[in-house]
Amino acid sequence: MPVPSDHSGSAHSGSAAHSPGEVLALISSGAVTTRADIARITGLARSTVSQRVDALIAHGLVDESAPAPGDSTGGRPPRRLQLRTAGHLVAGVDLGASHCAVALTDIAGAMLATHKEPLSIADGPESVLRRVERALQALLKETGRDPRTLRSIGVGVPGPVEFSTGRPIDPPIMPGWHQYPIPDFFASRFGVRALVDNDVNVMALAEQRRAFPDTRYLLYIKVGTGIGCGIVADGRLHRGAQGSAGDIGHIQVGDQTEPCRCGNTGCLEAVAGGAALAAKLAGLGLDAASGSDVVRLVTSGNRDAVRMVREAGRAVGEVLAGLVNFFNPDTVVLGGALAAVHDQLLAGVREAVYRRSHPLATRVLRIEPSRTGENAAVIGAGILAAEQAMSPSQVDRRLARAMA
């Protein structure tokens, strides 16, 4: 798994990579595979490269193996460097309105074990997080892994988050969670740092890293009970000044007047969200109480449901057209519960976007359904944890503590 540098420069640029953490970033990204590669790219002296690499090997972060047969082109073949994944685990946690999913992975992203169960986020933080704790402990036991090998935990939640503190801020469907210190809960039980983010942000991260790695500018639109947008700009998540970037569910759609839970009217969520569509279908006498019921009716061929989902797609597309003109992404991904009927949803979205966006903004634009599907949030939370645990600054701090 490539590990983005967490400083202003880049370990891949012409500036020297001075620290072991920056050298590890080069190795984990695949930019280098030998000590000679490191010296050539960074400009470091061979003796300094050896010090860096030897420290990483000694602390179990890098393996140096004998060259494969046929690698030699004459002379003594170099030994190959690679990230050591054994003994370094991270956990991804996806908390939804009515479910939780926990995944245990190694730092390269290989899935070791997963657990899913229904729950209500409205039960409050203590009850919900204790269930997550039990699930993670069970996964560690199931895989025979020492809890001390856990390096970081990533958590996605269905509400606004102040990313710098990991605390939810006035989350509308999470009663009792406002300002709750989620990172402290995990730190006190597992002794590692936990990073908490809005679920649509970690979904966007999963999609960009796993499905569209060559995409630098991506929008991930989650159309579920509510509607949100995750933003990847120049390969990095963009959260805004306080962590609330991407809250498109409360942008007004045309002259719509449907009341929204936020207190305003005509919001995209109130017009095209899964809960809104279910309420409209229920008003027609159909059995619908949630977005999943809308999906069921569409897949069974109900004409009213098909029509409403396509109209919802147009409403999403109307808002998205403004985002495309403003942000100029090269990829837009639709995920969430209603993306399960993406043929109808995408048709409406594409119709509105290509009609209302500037031709230059749509010249190379692709609008596609999610490729990570229902696992997007738990995968993205794991990636968030792994990138934090293996960031150059974090690795350097860990080595400094070990050598103190």
Per-residue pLDDT of the chain (404 residues; tens, 9 = 90+): 544 444 333 434 334 447 999 999 999 988 999 999 999 999 999 999 999 999 999 999 999 987 655 555 556 678 999 999 888 999 999 999 889 999 999 999 999 999 999 999 999 999 999 999 999 999 999 999 999 999 999 999 999 999 999 999 999 889 999 999 999 999 999 999 999 999 999 999 999 999 999 999 999 999 988 899 999 999 999 999 888 899 999 999 988 899 998 889 999 999 999 999 999 999 999 999 999 999 999 999 999 999 999 999 999 999 999 999 999 999 999 999 898 888 899 999 999 999 999 999 999 999 999 999 999 999 999 999 999 999 999 999 988 888 77
Burial class (CB in 10 A: 0-12, 13-18, 19+), 26: buried
| pTM of the predicted model as reported, rounded to 2 decimal places | 0.89
Whole-angstrom distance, CA of residue 196 vs CA of residue 135: 18
What pLDDT does residue 215 have? Answer: 95
The confidence score (pLDDT) of residue 161 equals 95
Quote the pLDDT of residue 68. Answer: 56
3 state SS of 284: coil
Q: In angstroms, how far is CA 5 from the centroid of its own chain?
A: 17
- With the C-alpha atoms ordered 133, 134, 137, 143, is the resulting torsion angle positive or negative? negative
Contact 154, 385 (CB under 8 A): yes
Kind plus residue range of the DSSP H or E element containing 157: strand 150-157
pLDDT at res. 6: 41
Q: Which residue intervals of 144-273 are DSSP H helices? A: 182-190, 199-206, 268-272
**Residue 151 and residue 192 in contact, taking contact as beta carbons nearer than 8 Å:** yes
The token pair at 214 is: 């060559």
Contact 130, 114 (CB under 8 A): no
Helices marked H in 95-193 — which ranges? 125-143, 182-190
Residue 18: name the closest of 57, 54, 44 by CA: 44
- Chain center to CA of 39: 33
- Answer yes or no: are the C-beta atoms of 261 and 172 closer than 8 Å: yes
Q: Which residues are within 8 A (CB) of 276 and not within 5 positions of it... i.e. 6 or more apart?
A: 258, 269, 270
Q: Which two tokens stand for residue 79?
A: 């030994």
Q: Are 228 and 244 in contact (CB under 8 A)?
A: no
Q: Could you tell me how many helices (H) and strands (E) the chain has, helices first?
A: 13, 14
Selection from 152, 186, 181, 148 nearest residue 166 by Cα = 181
Provide the residue count of the chain. Answer: 404
Pairing of strands 161-162, 167-168: antiparallel
Using an 8 Å Cβ cutoff, are 52 and 44 in contact? yes
